[in-house]
Structure 1
Amino acid sequence: MVQAYILVQTEVERSGEVTERIRGIEGVEKASDVTGPYDVIVQAEAEDIDALGALVVARIQRLDGIARTLTCPIINI
């Protein structure tokens, strides 16, 4: 399994609705509104790095109201 934090910038005043929609996506473990340069932080899990990429590109980035994402895979040593 691969886990990652996905940092999300939303369009102005859309973070609440975007967070709720992200929470409904399979593979998303947690989504929280935050302050700072990003509006939402998502913790997600997928079978492998390819599935994680598909989750981000095909499911999260396509949501209306998202301006940009940054995916940070979790490295367990």
Structure 2
Amino acid sequence: MVHAFIMVKTAAGKSEDLLDAVRGLGQVDEAHIVAGDYDLITEVDVDEVYDVLHTASSSIQGLDGVADTKTYISMG
């Protein structure tokens, strides 16, 4: 099992709209609006590292209003 956090930067005013869309993705366990350099933080648990990449690059970045993502894979 691979546990990861995907930080999401959104276009201005899109955080609340994107929160529900991100939470609706099957790979996402949790998602929250946060203050700081990024607007959302998501938590995923998947079988393979490739699944983390696919979730960030295809599923999340494919949503309208997502400007950027940064992925952190948990080491412990």
How far residue 60 of structure 1 moved from its aligned partner, in angstroms, is: 0.7
What is the rounded CA distance, in whole Å, between the counterparts of 1:39 and 1:57 in structure 2? 17
Deviation beyond 3 Å, 4+ runs, structure 1: none
**TM-score of the pair, normalised by structure 1:** 0.95
* 1:3 matched residue in structure 2: 3
Percent identity over paired residues: 32
* 2:68 matched residue in structure 1: 68
Equivalences, count: 76
Matches within 5 A, 1:32-43: 32-43=32-43
* 2:30 matched residue in structure 1: 30
Structure 2: runs of 5 or more not aligned: none
**TM-score of the pair, normalised by structure 2:** 0.96
Residues 11-58 of structure 1 show CA distances to partners (whole Å, capped at 9, x for unaligned) of 001000111100000110100001111100000111110111111111
What is the rounded CA distance, in whole Å, between the counterparts of 1:36 and 1:53 in structure 2? 23
